[in-house]
Structure 1
């Protein structure tokens, strides 16, 4: 017995030493033993007051690359059995989508069913608008299921093609519905895509080698929302609708603004005249790499966790949190906590979700090769749920069964999961012509007026937008919000008015006045972001006014965003650009205009 005890003690010490050595440095692989899901949970350093349950794991799932919740609170898992390594995959229909349901809300699935298994490689998923949006490079496809019976109505429809697969670790991923009704996603730097509708010529396609993209479910427009970064595999919006991406290799956290050009790993920015890409907002370092990003906007965890960004770190093998501190037009990302070290070198968490129960759900690819260069633990994978102990079990939700007005009422729910799901359903009913718009708009108008905080007002505003409260014959109500006392309402009114690139002529002078005198750096940031989407006659008046705001000289974003909007105009309108450069109070703009003028005629970028 003494010999056995000594052996176990020595073995435990060796494992602990190996873990500490690897966790404290960058590493691509390890010789960690395969732990069963129960053994893995037993090794986790679970924070006091919390439990971790095994929602699902092998043999029920394998190679899980993406997951999401549907409007009934069920988990849809994409299993990529085609993946071999970053440079190759099996060219057969091996991958699948399964649906898991936790009927009694105990954090462990009770039933499962197969939705689709005729897939050759997949990387991202979103549910909504009568079906499934699936990243299946080289395509973004839609699998219709209009009646919600969990049986595809037809073969997948290719919405966009041209997504690259040079690095199968960095293709389209991290799908999420934005507050504006667009589907957002990420792509990494070592994959080169030329994206467009099927059959579109090269000139009608958009090149992307790193950044954030978006697709509209009704108009089917596709846009590059922001360029740069490394291999972002996590994107979310806080409760003010500000986007944040998590990255690997380069600093891990970025505040994403429409039209922004960001620090980029290894490769030059597509536009050679960027000069000063936007940098990280983090003030601390973690080991690379990060995956997944969800703000905790529910009420099940203790209140100190609300507004914290939960993310996975595959090199530290832990769930971490950061919190955002306002800093001019942007934020500083402060370290929150090492929330849950897993103490398992084969734990590869790179995606997470907040559930209808307020739990944090974590996807674990589970392999000793954490950089995707090989599969050492084939057909493994887990989804865990982190939940406070003794949390009350919820009744299972069924968002599609609710009335229009009940969906409106959910915009005031303390768990943003319900807010987002209800907004997506309202949007779908609007597009489908099944919404009682008059009643819905009345309810949302009342909610907006009665709301006392920016997040609540914005919830009302976003729901108004997706239900077409501000359609062409009712734009005046949105224009009026440009003078609202809430800076975030003013900012979002700017974005929504410039959304389709044909703003009403009456806002030209209003936007110029906001650029001249609005006290909010957030409003000025949204103005700079909107400029490229506005008619030419709007642009210089706004840019000239923004360039006079000396208080923004040292802002981490505003001078750059003003430059990104101004740069395409410099060689086409040199006299106006030189006049701005001569009069601006922001030296970076003077320097950048001069550099751009010397560079000569525009290059194709």
Structure 2
């Protein structure tokens, strides 16, 4: 049985303090100890002797260094002498094989090790021995499975080669052949121990190169002083070694040295703007009205105040693991936040920031901010807050929450990139959902989902703009009001907001999505991908799996070819990527394929971690570098995770952080600006500055000072809005006039006719934002514009205000001519604002007013989901008179999706009776769901019953066409309120073998009802369904707790075979959002594990899986 490894026998004795000079005995055969180490000790005043660990030698020593390259126990006499030595308080430093110095029953040998390039994860500042140190790579042995005392204090660790599940062969491999570290198991490699009378230090590594490493030398020399109880722990450490302790060989580089590792485009140069210790973990950057840098820092990332799930030496993402736990929530610490927002100062104008003025500290997990008024607006758990400096001392003294609900469980699904756009809204990207609440009332103001949202700086409004699931860290609003969103982990790093969801929501049925992938599946131009488990990509390998930033170049200082190009980063691969976008109809696209052999910037320093790029008022790129070896947050390979959703790792540092500036060598130098002290004319003039940052600050400050400067600015703004040749400047002037309430109709109309399409587009966007009706001529010009982005803006404007009859006619005439899904959706949304129902006009026209089934369906869907439902009775009346059956059917099918009668429904009964009695059976069938939902008095019972009976006969007739039977089911179930037997008869069909198309419609239509009887039928039919339909049935079942309960009942009753369920389905039960279902499922299946037969199969196949592959065959396979 293994005994606890403490190196020496513990004995009781009074504390003993050494007196100078320290007497050090070096044992063993390590030449480095007799050389450089001995010299350093002597230079520090120590007395050094060598020899074995005998009574005589130890009697004349205060500290003994035990060193051996063999794992052999010391002779019994030496062990007894060490016991006495410890009894009197001697210090012990054990290196490499010396940990086996004790009795043989300790069972320590060198079999539990493997040699590889390893990172020694030093827990900096956790102990005096590792003060101001950093992790670093060495080539040496990693040791595992040593029985270390619980009282040991771990100073450094490493990943071992153990896998997630040792039963499946992922444990130790053959040494020196394929041994390599994984990311599942972290074990101590260096530690201290304090007994009642003595101190001990252990370092497991001992290769000659390791012993020559300056940091290792520092740790050992400090350990000698510490175990010898010296006051000055650095007494023996050479100053040169101390100077490099933060920047060791194999570890992080100094910022100036890291730049030398940049492989950049020709003509560009980089310099350091700020570095640690001045800044730590910069996450967001802004420039104020004087061109000064403001930065948000987040040493709290990733865990914030969440408590540890693992020992602090393993889980290093907690700034203060010794803080007290909150008695109300033991998952959180009680302490102030550590994140801050500061102004950086270059006091000597050398380009390197040397001072920091902290505007506000105390935030938890800040991820984005923007300047606003006399302060900033920031997001930090759990709010979006306004921080104000009301007394002008440069420090925030008022903290006002604007919106609550921003406290995601996983701390890399966060709101980020706050940009106050020309329209006065702050646009934000987010990777998480949130119920944005009013902090004072707690009322939900908006339900935010991953994507883009915006809010008013005064907190009066917040709304979703675009959504798509997935993590995000990147957002941009350009000078011409195009919005970009970054998707970090999907492999589709850059997305363009084509149409806001506020428009799509009014469009009803549409295939359009708010976001469009600019560069789907973009591969990185880096072939030497990292292979070590701790730093390699996990998924989307060779693509973008941690993309950050979507910054469009509008800096005015680089060659013109860069204008409008967009930049993103891949921190795992140490690159900055440049994408040249072009407009393709309504969307922005990157090239189908990029032939480049290298990225815009690549660093060969793998600590380089560019989490953001932005462009400053000088037109240069500013790179925020977390400077860390770990980028991965949650790890899908399955190691232990923290309460923040981050994988538990020993390399989550809170110290490093840099800002780099990259500028073109031919860039002009722009004159300094001071927008805060500028008058109205000066602010308007700044609209023409080459840099977008300055231009956006100018309009923000002008509008913030509208009470004093607004009227004075109007003449100059009007002139600029009417004739300024620079499109970005003219666009800003138009927005400023609109926000100041001084935009004249002729100025706006002139802009709608401008030669530059970006000006025309923004003129229509202003009409939308301000609710300005546009006339027929403007509507015709905009919808007919060659630029699809102008067309979309026109349609948005038509749907934002009361529509004139002329504009309505233009819109109706254009419907069938629109080709892209976004234009169709925008037109459908705009149709709901027509003065009279356009559908009624279409159905009343013998030729259908030139419309198609598709355009009519879109109009009907928009009407059904919009706010003008009072038009529906008139539409039905027109439908009852129409001879155009296809258009009538399309209209009725969409209106049949309304769940409750609209205003005036009672007056539509005669029209519904006519439609139900139509000789066209499809018209009658399409009418049935409407009649079932609206006819509360039963006046249509005769007609409805007749139609329902005919449909039921078709559904049950095995000789009827399969598509007709499926269509009958689709109509009958929404009309089940007509007769209680409809559900029963239709459900009975699923209990019998049916053609696949009919079975699929039965499953989906029954699931849509939500009825308990439907759930019972789906569960009972599950075992007999084909596999292709079992997934649809299962998805329906697990979506409702009451149906999931029925499913588990069937499993327990063995009506559904547990061993036939795929692991993914079991997981969906054991991780069900309903906790009762999840717990019950775990009891049935275990904690989401697969069946025992699968484990047996894996075990059986592993010997073959572990055999070396055939390279030639593999090459043939992947080259085919």
So what's the TM-score if we normalise by structure 1? 0.80
Residue of 737, 749, 764 corresponding to 1:464: 737
Q: 1:557 to 1:393 in 2, by over 3 A?
A: same
Q: What SS does the aligned partner of 2:582 have?
A: strand
Residue of 260, 284, 294 corresponding to 1:66: 284
Q: Retained in 1: the 8 A contact 2:493–2:547?
A: yes
Name stretches of at least 5 consecutive residues in structure 1 with no aligned partner.
1-9, 16-26, 264-268
Q: What SS does the aligned partner of 1:488 have?
A: helix
Q: 1:588 to 1:362 in 2, by over 3 A?
A: farther
Per mean C-alpha deviation after superposition, the further-off stretch among 291-300 and 589-598 is 589-598
Name 2:557's counterpart in structure 1.
Answer: 300
Q: Retained in 2: the 8 A contact 1:481–1:489?
A: yes
Alignment of 1:74-473 (within 5 A): 74-85=292-303, 88=306, 91=333, 92=335, 93-103=337-347, 106-146=350-390, 148-152=392-396, 154-188=397-431, 191-200=432-441, 202=443, 205-217=445-457, 220-228=460-468, 230-250=470-490, 251-260=492-501, 275-277=511-513, 278-282=515-519, 285-286=522-523, 287-288=543-544, 289-334=546-591, 338-372=599-633, 373-374=646-647, 376-389=652-665, 396-430=672-706, 433-437=707-711, 439-470=712-743
Alignment of 1:555-570 (within 5 A): 555=820, 557-562=822-827
Q: Give, in whole Å, the separation in 2 of the partners of 1:426 and 1:214.
A: 21
Q: 1:156 to 1:523 in 2, by over 3 A?
A: same
Q: Retained in 2: the 8 A contact 1:360–1:385?
A: yes
Larger gyration radius, structure 1 or structure 2: 2
Per mean C-alpha deviation after superposition, the further-off stretch among 281-290 and 594-603 is 594-603
Q: Give, in whole Å, the separation in 1 of the partners of 2:547 and 2:584.
A: 23
Q: What SS does the aligned partner of 1:205 have?
A: strand
Q: Which has the higher helix share?
A: 2
Alpha carbon RMSD of aligned pairs, Å? 3.9
Deviation at 1:113, TM superposition (A): 1.4
Q: What SS does the aligned partner of 2:573 have?
A: coil
Q: 1:514 to 1:248 in 2, by over 3 A?
A: same
Deviations 1:320-371 (A, max 9, x none): 1112212122222236982111223333322222112221001122322213
Residue of 530, 537, 548 corresponding to 2:816: 548
Q: Give, in whole Å, the separation in 2 of the partners of 1:156 and 1:573.
A: 51
Q: What SS does the aligned partner of 1:156 have?
A: strand
Q: Give, in whole Å, the separation in 2 of the partners of 1:567 and 1:247.
A: 33
Q: Retained in 1: the 8 A contact 2:571–2:611?
A: yes
Q: Retained in 1: the 8 A contact 2:507–2:826?
A: no
Q: 1:226 to 1:382 in 2, by over 3 A?
A: same
Q: Give, in whole Å, the separation in 1 of the partners of 2:417 and 2:852.
A: 37
Alignment of 1:52-63 (within 5 A): 52-63=270-281
Deviation at 1:176, TM superposition (A): 0.9
Deviations 1:545-594 (A, max 9, x none): 44232xx41x364234445667999xx99767988996676775456655
Q: Give, in whole Å, the separation in 1 of the partners of 2:778 and 2:816.
A: 15
Q: What SS does the aligned partner of 2:556 have?
A: coil
Deviation at 1:174, TM superposition (A): 0.6
Q: Give, in whole Å, the separation in 2 of the partners of 1:524 and 1:540.
A: 15
Deviation at 1:64, TM superposition (A): 2.2
Per mean C-alpha deviation after superposition, the further-off stretch among 481-490 and 297-306 is 481-490
Q: 1:388 to 1:262 in 2, by over 3 A?
A: farther
Deviation at 1:109, TM superposition (A): 0.9
Deviation at 1:52, TM superposition (A): 1.4
Alignment of 1:2-21 (within 5 A): none
Deviation at 1:134, TM superposition (A): 0.9
Q: What SS does the aligned partner of 1:418 have?
A: helix
Q: Give, in whole Å, the separation in 2 of the partners of 1:117 and 1:476.
A: 49
Q: Give, in whole Å, the separation in 1 of the partners of 2:384 and 2:739.
A: 22
Q: 1:515 to 1:71 in 2, by over 3 A?
A: closer
Q: Give, in whole Å, the separation in 1 of the partners of 2:854 and 2:351.
A: 53
Deviation at 1:391, TM superposition (A): 5.4
Name 2:109's counterpart in structure 1.
Answer: none
Q: 1:112 to 1:333 in 2, by over 3 A?
A: same
Q: Retained in 2: the 8 A contact 1:253–1:333?
A: no
Q: Retained in 1: the 8 A contact 2:283–2:296?
A: yes
Q: 1:343 to 1:547 in 2, by over 3 A?
A: farther
Deviations 1:142-166 (A, max 9, x none): 11125654122x3211111122412
Q: Retained in 2: the 8 A contact 1:64–1:381?
A: yes
Deviation at 1:67, TM superposition (A): 1.9
Deviations 1:492-536 (A, max 9, x none): 222222225x435xx354564346544442221113334553348
Q: 1:536 to 1:162 in 2, by over 3 A?
A: farther
Q: Give, in whole Å, the separation in 1 of the partners of 2:723 and 2:293.
A: 34
Deviation at 1:239, TM superposition (A): 3.5
Deviation at 1:227, TM superposition (A): 2.4
Is residue 521 from structure 1 mapped to residue 788 from structure 2 by the alignment?
yes
Q: Give, in whole Å, the separation in 2 of the partners of 1:519 and 1:137.
A: 46
Q: Give, in whole Å, the separation in 2 of the partners of 1:601 and 1:536.
A: 28
Q: Give, in whole Å, the separation in 2 of the partners of 1:475 and 1:357.
A: 36
Per mean C-alpha deviation after superposition, the further-off stretch among 444-453 and 388-397 is 388-397
Deviation at 1:544, TM superposition (A): 2.9
Q: Retained in 1: the 8 A contact 2:503–2:826?
A: no
